Amino acid sequence: MGLSNLTKNLKISAKIYLILAIPLFFLCSSGMGAFIIQLKLSDIGQDLGIRQRIHLQLTGDISRAVADYRSAETRMVMTSDPIIEQAAKKEIDVYQAEVQDLAQQLNNAQLPPSMLIKNQQFLSDWQRYIDLSRQTIGAVIENHKADAHPLFWKELPLFDQISDELKTIRHIQGQIIEAKVNDMKAFFVVVRWLIILTTLLAVLLSIFVAGLIVKVTVKPLQMVTHALHALAGGNTNVNVPVEKRSDEIGELITTFILFRERILNAEKEKEAQLNLLVSDIGDALHGLSKSDLTVRITGHLTGGFSKIKEDFNYSIGVLNDVVSKIIQSAENIKTGADEIQQASNDLSLRTEQQAASLEETSAVMVQISNTVDHTAEGANASKLITDQVETEVVQSSHVVQQAMEAMNRIENGSKKIAQIIGVIDGIAFQTNLLALNAGVEAARAGEAGKGFSVVAAEVRALAQRSAEAAKDVKERITDSAREVENGVLLVNKTGDTLTQIVQQIHEISERVTQSAEMAEQQASGLRQVNTAVSEMDSVTQKNAAMVQQSTKAVSQLAIEAQNMMQQMQQFKLAH
């Protein structure tokens, strides 16, 4: 109860600050907790990321250096090459110094006690191993390989022990890291629950405080708001319980009460003024109902009612002026209507004459359009015929071209046959010559060559007949070739003539095409003109009808203007 009274007397701004302060307090607490968590995580991260990493790196480097030392020692003992032996000796010295230095660094790296003990044990065993190794290396240097081998194998158990100690050190390091990680996980669990509990507590406390403030602030505000709505709706009997509060709500309740009292007083004064206004307006309206525009409100009114009085009297004055102007305008309208009626009659007559002229023009244009359409159709038909003739002439040109090619082939064949006849003529000449020689030889042979002489004579006669036949064929082929050549010339002339005819027909076709297109364009233009004339005729007919309607409307307007003048003259005007 005390907390409720305390919050009731707080200013609204203080209540808002209180609501904001609670989550802000827990937010600051969460921030401090986050800062502490960050420090803790930074420490754990530094330990895992720096110290433990250094420990692991040093341990790994030591293991590698020990293994390299053993490998170099093995090469030195097992090799028979002096160069490899010297190189291995240098590596042994380097790895020994490296192991010693790394082990000392690990010993100085703030190791846990368990690791420190193991590291010191490793150093002790490593020193023992070095002592044995020096004996082996000394035997190798002195070329006592037979003594070096037993010493080398004697080192092996101690080397295995050193390797186990390094593994143990790494195992301890792994356990330490695992413990650190487990600590971090446990710390995260605790922090998570702390954050959850803190957030839950902040939410619950904020809800509690907000509910308390709603109870002492919002509900009274809602009550005052409802009262104001009722008062705005005209309910002046609404009341708000008076509470002793020192905040803004208490001031609002006090202001509401004063405001309601002023409204009540204003309502009473308004009612008196309204009664006076209604009385005066009733008298004025009664005068207006009798067409008396000289009435005015003369009662004494104040406030907004005075404005109503002035507006009413001004409106009556304006109405008086308007009615006077309407009467004057009605007279002017009647005069104008008479003039418009006369002009409409004249316009109607001219429109009818124009419509008749357009109708005749439209008929003439239709005839011209039909004629041009027939001309265009004839031009198109001529174009089709010309195109067909051009196609047939082109086909004839192709046939003549093929004939020219055939005549050329015949001419070439005749030339080849003439060449073959020349060859046959040469063969006959050679055969005749051979037969003559054979006859001479047969004559020399006497009786023994008599039969051969007869054969030679027959062969010679045959050769002479072949030569004569070849000569006759050659003459005939020469005549044929001459005729073929003349035919080729005639066919070529025919082809040239057909080519010229094709070109001329093509030009004629183009001209006919142009004529057809121009005729089509003229027909299209005339159709458009015809359409335009038809539309003009239609518009003129409509205009004539509209003029008649306008004439009728003007006549009606003159009658209405006369009636309006008679009605307006009933008003009693102030001058």
**What CATH number is attached to the domain comprising 460?**
1.10.287.950
In a domain, 296, yes or no: no
pLDDT in tens, 216-230: 666 666 666 766 676
Residue 342 and residue 204 share a domain: no
Strand, helix or coil for residue 572: strand
DSSP string, 493-525: HHHHHHHHHHHHHHHHHHHHHHHHHHHHHHHHH
- In the numeric block, the tokens 């509900």 are attached to 219
CA atoms within 13 A on the CB side of 215: 12
pTM: 0.31
pLDDT band at 304 (very low <50, low <70, confident <90, very high): low
| Domain presence at residue 353 | yes
How far is the C-alpha of 503 from the C-alpha of 486, rounded, in Å?
A: 26
109 part of a folded domain: yes
d(CA 332, CA 334): 5
What is the average per-residue pLDDT within 404-419?
Answer: 71
Q: Is residue 507 within 8 Å of residue 393, measured between CB atoms?
A: no
The CA distance from 112 to 104, in Å, is 15
Burial category of 522 from C-beta neighbours within 10 Å (exposed 0-12, middle 13-18, buried 19 and up) = middle
How much of the chain exceeds pLDDT 70, in percent?
Answer: 51
Whether 412 and 520 share a structural domain: yes
Inter-residue contact 540 to 355 (CB < 8 Å): yes
Domain that holds residue 456: 307-568
Mean per-residue pLDDT for 499-510? 73
- Do 14 and 124 share a domain, yes or no? yes
Mean pLDDT throughout 155-162?
82
Q: How far is CA 153 from the centre of its chain?
A: 79
Q: Tokens 């009818």 map to which residue? A: 352
Q: Of the residues 160, 193, 228, which one is the last residue of a structural domain?
A: 228
**Residue 135: Cβ-neighbour burial (10 angstroms; 0-12, 13-18, 19+):** middle
Would you say residue 291 lies in a domain?
Answer: no
Q: Give, for 428, the enclosing helix (H) or strand (E).
A: helix 304-445
Of 162-166, 307-311, 490-494, which has the strongest mean pLDDT?
A: 162-166
Looking at residue 240, its pLDDT comes to: 62
d(CA 104, CA 408): 116
User: Domain holding 47: CATH number?
Assistant: 1.20.120.1730
Residue 553 CA to residue 560 CA, distance in Å, equals 10
Chain mean pLDDT for the chain = 70
pLDDT at residue 1 in the model: 47
Identify whether residues 41 and 163 lie together within a single domain: yes
Q: How many CB atoms lie within 10 A of CB 475?
A: 11
Contact predicate 529/365, CB 8 Å: yes
C-alpha span between 333 and 553 (Å, rounded): 13
Of 123-137, 175-189, 269-283, 422-436, which gets the smallest average pLDDT? Answer: 269-283
Q: Answer for the pair 299, 280: CB distance below 8 angstroms, yes or no.
A: yes
Q: Tell whether 110 and 220 lie within a shared domain.
A: yes
Residue of higher predicted confidence among 397 and 326: 326
Same domain, 183 and 326: no
What pLDDT sits at residue 30? 59
**Residue 521 and residue 397 share a domain:** yes
Asked if residue 255 belongs to a domain, the reply is no
Going by C-beta distance under 8 Å and a sequence separation of 6 or more, which residues neighbour residue 440? none
* Per-residue tokens: 2: 């005390």
Q: Determine the average pLDDT of the residues in 84-96.
A: 83
Same-domain pairing of 422 and 530 = yes
Question: Pick from 204, 228, 252: which residue ends a domain?
Answer: 228
Determine, yes or no, domain membership for 91.
yes
Cα 506 to chain center, whole Å?
A: 55
d(CA 565, CA 557): 12
Indicate the helix (H) or strand (E) that contains 491.
helix 450-568
Q: Band of the pLDDT at 337, cuts 50, 70, 90? A: low
Structure tokens at 47: 């330990």
Within a domain: 573: no
Q: Decide if pLDDT at 236 tops 50.
A: yes
In a domain, 43, yes or no: yes
DSSP 435-483: HHHHHHHHHHHGGGGHHHHHHHHHHHHHHHHHHHHHHHHHHHHHHHHHH
47 plus 178 within the same structural domain: yes
Q: How far is CA 252 from the centre of its chain?
A: 58
Interatomic CA distance for residues 422 and 428, integer angstroms: 10
203 and 311 co-located in one domain? no
Residues 6+ apart with CB under 8 A from 302: 273
Residue 472, pLDDT score: 75
The predicted structure's pLDDT at residue 399: 65
Residue 84 has pLDDT above 80, yes or no: yes
Give the pLDDT confidence of 511-551 residue by residue, as tens digits: 767 766 776 776 677 677 667 767 776 776 776 677 677 77
**Are the CB atoms for 44 and 184 separated by under 8 Å?**
yes
**Which whole number is the average pLDDT over 111-128?**
72
pLDDT value, residue 39: 59
**HSE-up of 482 (CA within 13 Å, CB side)?**
6
- Are residues 136 and 46 located together in one domain of the fold? yes
List, for residues 288-299, the tens digit of each pLDDT value.
666 676 777 766
Higher pLDDT, 482 or 75: 75
Cα–Cα distance for residue pair 51/43, rounded to 1 Å = 11
- β-bridge partners, 511: none
Site of tokens 């110290």:
51
Closest CA to 353 of 190, 537, 225, 481: 537
Q: How many domains does the chain have?
A: 2
**131 vs 235 pLDDT, higher one:** 131
Q: Are 147 and 10 found together in one domain?
A: yes
Q: Which of 491, 516, 536, 575 is nearest to 379 (CA)?
A: 516
H helix or E strand, kind and range, residue 180: helix 156-213
Is the model's pLDDT at 23 over the cut of 80? no
Residue 555: predicted pLDDT: 74
Q: Which residues contact 452 (CB under 8 A, 6 or more apart)?
A: 438, 441, 442, 445
Which of 281, 273, 282 is closest to 302 using CA atoms?
A: 273
Domain edge (last residue) among 176, 205, 228: 228
